[in-house]
Structure 1
Amino acid sequence: MELPYPRAMTTPAVPRIPEAVHRRRWAILGVLMLSLLIVVLDNSILNVAIKTISTPAPTGLGATQSELEWAINSYTLVFAGLLFSAGLLGDRVGRKKVLLGGLVVFGIGSALAAESGSPAQLIAFRALMAVGAAFVMPATLAVLMNVFEREEQPKAIGVWAGGVGIAIAIGPITGGLLLDHFWWGSVFLVNVPIVLLALALMIWLVPDSRDPSPGRTDPVGVVLSVVGLVLLVYGIIKGGELADFTDPAVLSSIVAGLVVLTAFVVFEKRSDHPSIDITYFKNKVFSAAMAVITLVFFALMGVTFFSVFYTQSVRGYSPLQTGLLMLPLAAAQMIFAPRARLVVDRIGIRATTTIAMLVLAASLLAFAAFDADTPIWILEVVFFAMGAGMAHVMTPTSVVIMQALPREKAGSASALSNTFRQVGGALGIAVLGSVLSAAYRNGIEDKLGALPAGLRDTAGESIEATLGVAAKLGDQGKTLVTPANDAFLHAMHVTAAGGAVVALAGAVVVALFLPGKPKAVRKEAGEEELASVES
């Protein structure tokens, strides 16, 4: 989506924004942040709920690890696939209409997800929520650009971006509080009243706007990208579920996904209205920054996935306690992200991001040394270090991405950055989740020999499945608890080491391709600051 930047005014005394809109601009920003909050909040709430959802009914849905991965990735993949087309549709038919429609779809999907009777239903309704979210996120920033004058845009976008950090911070705690007092579906149902409030305020306060020269949508590109990613991710998750990546079904799905994604790239190169302009990636600096964003979210989402089972299943913490344990990760991002530029100014982009990626790699490697009684303050230090590392990667790379392309392409660059974050996170959950699943199954298999064949297969799926079977067997099942914990810890160590290797690969990429000292500040006041927060 191309975000409309205001053209130079021939008569500076006349404001571009109508006076009635200008007077209520900060109230409009509050409504936009509320809309953005529920989109981001839902994913961060889900992080602490996945263990509960994996618990057998009536407490949860008895979802397997692969089903949990799909519950997360069905949202992520649909969101990433529709982001560009949703932005273009908003430009064409009006951003307010698209925002309202997106919120309605998101609210309906949330209500249905809360009442899901099976993991399959949850996966489908999460995908529906993603359709709504894809229309909300790009439209919020586009509306913001049309209600603030240029001199106030950096401040407004800074507040907007801060809302994302707030949602990341309060999501796990909110999820923990809900799960401590209500059933698992409450983490989705909580979205509905927020959606209703946002809709009412938006109808009342937010003006409509559209691009007078909107781009064309790319339905073929959208279908190819989503289908290719789903086939690839399905194969990866299935390989982890079977603990066999040479299985014909696994290999055929992965190969088919890669073929479709190749067809997507070829189609986009030849299209006169592509979703993704492949020529952007001829710029090595731009490509390197995108690769690093993908790798960071690959590692982060994978770690978040297994750390919830570590804190709740192995350590015995409640969902609320788990949410509180994750606070240092969000707090570090909120503290260091606005200050990362000071480090960049002193030592340069390449040095800052390389050191940050090494900090991330070390943080991931620390999980490979955790056991069932590691002092919890060490986990808190590791989470804080991860957040600080992420802040010093995301802010400089965002600036690099914006500066690597012409200013009129800033909207596309922002959308691309969001898309690659989502894809990186989806692949991280799929790949690292599959490594975790395969390693756990291999570690627990020889401890399940005394169980009936049917129970043996069920118990080998995940630590929650093993503990669920153990609970049903009563005293006889108690002998499975320690082997389950040991097998999970071994699987977590293997997975964490894999994540650390990915972070090290990112360190190599930034060390080789990102620029050193930042370029001179642009002439237009605030422009560089705007670039640093847009994506």
Structure 2
Amino acid sequence: MTTNPPAPARIPEAVHRRRWVILGVLMLSLLIVVLDNSILNVAVKTISEPAPTGLGASQGELEWAINSYTLVFAGMLFTAGLLGDRLGRKKMLLAGLLVFGIGSLLAAESGSPAALVAFRAVMGFGAAFVMPATLAILMNVFERDEQPKAIGIWAAGVGLAIAIGPITGGLLLDHFWWGSVFLINVPIVALALVLMVVLVPDSKDPNPGRIDPVGVLLSILGLVLLVYGIIEGGRLADFTDPTVLATMGAGLAVLVLFVVHQKRSDHPSIDVTYFKNKVFSAAIGAIALVFFAMMGVTFFSVFYLQSVRGYSPLESGLMLIPLAAAQLLFAPRARLVVDRFGNKAVCTAGLLIIAGTLAAFATLDADTPIWLLEVVFFLMGTGMAHIMTPVSVVIMQALPREKAGSASALSNTFRQVGGALGIAILGSVLSAAYRSGIEGDLAGLPAGARHAAGESIEATLGVARSLGERGEALVAPAHQAFLDAMHVTALCGAGVALLGALVVALFLPGRPPAADAPAETAEPVGAGR
């Protein structure tokens, strides 16, 4: 009687032995992308100052320095994940790091706000190939039973970058010119490239099929139009503007056409039937909603700390340490909580914590004890840790391993679109509420100056400084108008987080019965490296 030979290990032994080192290299690559955005949030105030201190960027130019990156990043994410699955994730990651490094070097030497906006777009293009590849490679060097732990550490790396970015940015701005916040990326990219070549294995879909050029173009065009419309609506603080409505409508129409094309294609870029799975769709939706709430609200925390409280960039960066510490502490351990209570209970609780911390911003004023804000940030990081890790595991394990790049890209695309919506919509709420609160105190200014001064708290304080002693009377009203606007915006963000809690409470699975545990560790049919 003959017996079948034992099935080969899913992961080659040589790769399995160095899997934790590989995870460290992937986290270094991820660190660069996340760190860059958190650095820029600290540096926006400096870049807005006149040369030689900054670039003299206007509020609109500052927004586009952030948004050009977001626009290209969001537009290319899905395509980047698709190409990684088909051509090799390591190749795409190396190419993305190289482009990101070149963009960082050019951004550091920008001579004008327009040049900075353009080079930030180059950085976004490179980052789009880095972010999905890190998680996709992770899924292909860890066996299924270790993936939750690895994803938890990966998510903790995001928390570490959130803290390191503002602190690094503050230190650099205290000692060097504004461009140093981009130049710091270059040596990190160089190190990551070397380690990537030496240590990280390549992987791709063993049966990728043909690339669907029509689907690729439709996905890029649809995402770019949608995100551009969102950004423009936020910039104008008017989502009823005909151009904004037309652009967003065109983006949605192209994305609908993309879905129809995918359903009819014999070699689709993504199997849209995955979205019929309520668990998968709820997890994707939860990521979009939590980043809508978080990005829209944390964007104004920099101005609260620096413009209202008077902290330096370095000091405001140090304030975020509790948020990162909580993610570092809880994200790698979130899987243990999920094992005990299930995805539904853990993610719902995490979103309720996020909603509570965002609502807490509505209680802050100019002299709130800073330790209270630190507690809020720590709780915010705790909530994030218990959302990102389990939701990421649900998304990545819902698709076969060979589709890991597409799964990661879908997750990051929804995260980016949610974040862009949060900044645009909640930013519009903040802007409209601030202008409404301050306009009565600007009545004595000339019409042109009155309009400019009402754009933001920084604009009002800039006008106040230019008026000397006459402008001192504007400082207190500007602070109060900003606080009132922040309170309204924070409550809106809390409402969105509550909506996310409802979605996961309705659709994510609870704790599986003990008898089902062995089935949970099974590989998806057809999974491959």
TM-score, with length taken from structure 1: 0.87
Output the aligned Cα RMSD: 3.1
Q: What secondary structure does 1:523 align onto? A: helix
- Match among 295, 306, 330 for residue 301 of structure 1: 295
Alignment check: 8 A CA contact 2:34 2:158 kept: yes
Provide the C-alpha distance between the structure 2 equivalents of 1:208 and 1:397, rounded to a whole number of angstroms.
Answer: 25
Provide the C-alpha distance between the structure 2 equivalents of 1:236 and 1:162, rounded to a whole number of angstroms.
Answer: 29
- Match among 468, 482, 505 for residue 476 of structure 2: 482
Change (3 A) 1:89 1:399: closer
Provide the C-alpha distance between the structure 2 equivalents of 1:14 and 1:340, rounded to a whole number of angstroms.
Answer: 27
1:450 Cα deviation (Å)?
2.4
1:243 Cα deviation (Å)?
4.2
1:49 Cα deviation (Å)?
1.9
Change (3 A) 1:466 1:61: farther
Provide the C-alpha distance between the structure 2 equivalents of 1:60 and 1:86, rounded to a whole number of angstroms.
Answer: 34
Query: Which residue of the partner structure matches residue 312 of structure 2?
Result: 318
Query: 1:107 and 2:101 equivalent?
Result: yes
Alignment check: 8 A CA contact 1:237 1:434 kept: no
Alignment check: 8 A CA contact 2:156 2:331 kept: no
Provide the C-alpha distance between the structure 1 equivalents of 2:120 and 2:221, rounded to a whole number of angstroms.
Answer: 17
Unmatched segments (≥5 aa) in structure 2: 525-529
Provide the C-alpha distance between the structure 2 equivalents of 1:28 and 1:342, rounded to a whole number of angstroms.
Answer: 23
- Match among 266, 271, 278 for residue 272 of structure 1: 266
Change (3 A) 1:190 1:36: same
1:202 Cα deviation (Å)?
3.6
1:522 Cα deviation (Å)?
4.7
Deviates more, 1:169-178 or 1:312-321: 169-178
1:74 Cα deviation (Å)?
2.5
Provide the C-alpha distance between the structure 2 equivalents of 1:390 and 1:486, rounded to a whole number of angstroms.
Answer: 30
Query: Which residue of the partner structure matches residue 394 of structure 1?
Result: 388
Query: Which residue of the partner structure matches residue 284 of structure 1?
Result: 278
Unmatched segments (≥5 aa) in structure 1: 1-8, 531-535
Provide the C-alpha distance between the structure 1 equivalents of 2:148 and 2:499, rounded to a whole number of angstroms.
Answer: 33
CA deviation profile, 1:9-60 (whole Å, cap 9, x unmatched):
95578996375x7776665554433323212221222232223233344333
Alignment check: 8 A CA contact 1:340 1:396 kept: yes
Change (3 A) 1:409 1:439: same
Query: Which residue of the partner structure matches residue 384 of structure 1?
Result: 378
Provide the C-alpha distance between the structure 2 equivalents of 1:13 and 1:266, rounded to a whole number of angstroms.
Answer: 39
Query: Which residue of the partner structure matches residue 415 of structure 2?
Result: 421
One-letter code of the match for 1:43? N
Query: Which residue of the partner structure matches residue 12 of structure 2?
Result: 17
- Match among 182, 190, 198 for residue 196 of structure 1: 190
Provide the C-alpha distance between the structure 1 equivalents of 2:123 and 2:442, rounded to a whole number of angstroms.
Answer: 39
Change (3 A) 1:483 1:271: farther
Alignment check: 8 A CA contact 2:74 2:227 kept: no
- Match among 95, 114, 117 for residue 123 of structure 1: 117
TM-score, with length taken from structure 2: 0.87
Query: 1:523 and 2:512 equivalent?
Result: no
CA deviation profile, 1:258-278 (whole Å, cap 9, x unmatched):
333333333333333444432
Provide the C-alpha distance between the structure 2 equivalents of 1:527 and 1:58, rounded to a whole number of angstroms.
Answer: 60
Alignment check: 8 A CA contact 1:103 1:132 kept: yes
One-letter code of the match for 2:102? I
One-letter code of the match for 2:411? S
Q: What secondary structure does 1:317 align onto? A: coil
Following superposition of structure 1 onto structure 2, how do residues 207-246 of structure 1 map, counting pairs within 5 Å?
Answer: 208=202, 210-246=204-240
Deviates more, 1:42-51 or 1:490-499: 42-51
One-letter code of the match for 2:265? S
Provide the C-alpha distance between the structure 2 equivalents of 1:347 and 1:154, rounded to a whole number of angstroms.
Answer: 15
One-letter code of the match for 1:340? A
Query: Which residue of the partner structure matches residue 343 of structure 2?
Result: 349
Query: Which residue of the partner structure matches residue 6 of structure 1?
Result: none
Query: 1:497 and 2:491 equivalent?
Result: yes
Provide the C-alpha distance between the structure 1 equivalents of 2:505 and 2:244, rounded to a whole number of angstroms.
Answer: 35
One-letter code of the match for 2:125? V
Instruction: State percent identity of aligned pairs.
Output: 76
Provide the C-alpha distance between the structure 2 equivalents of 1:369 and 1:121, rounded to a whole number of angstroms.
Answer: 39
Q: What secondary structure does 2:510 align onto? A: coil
Query: Which residue of the partner structure matches residue 64 of structure 2?
Result: 70
One-letter code of the match for 2:159? G
Provide the C-alpha distance between the structure 1 equivalents of 2:145 and 2:394, rounded to a whole number of angstroms.
Answer: 22
Provide the C-alpha distance between the structure 2 equivalents of 1:525 and 1:107, rounded to a whole number of angstroms.
Answer: 40
1:474 Cα deviation (Å)?
1.7
Alignment check: 8 A CA contact 1:294 1:420 kept: yes
1:393 Cα deviation (Å)?
2.0
Query: 1:470 and 2:473 equivalent?
Result: no
Deviates more, 1:381-390 or 1:48-57: 48-57
Change (3 A) 1:510 1:117: same
One-letter code of the match for 2:74? A
Count residues with an aligned counterpart.
520
Change (3 A) 1:446 1:498: same
- Match among 454, 461, 469 for residue 455 of structure 2: 461
Provide the C-alpha distance between the structure 1 equivalents of 2:79 and 2:228, rounded to a whole number of angstroms.
Answer: 24
Query: Which residue of the partner structure matches residue 533 of structure 1?
Result: none
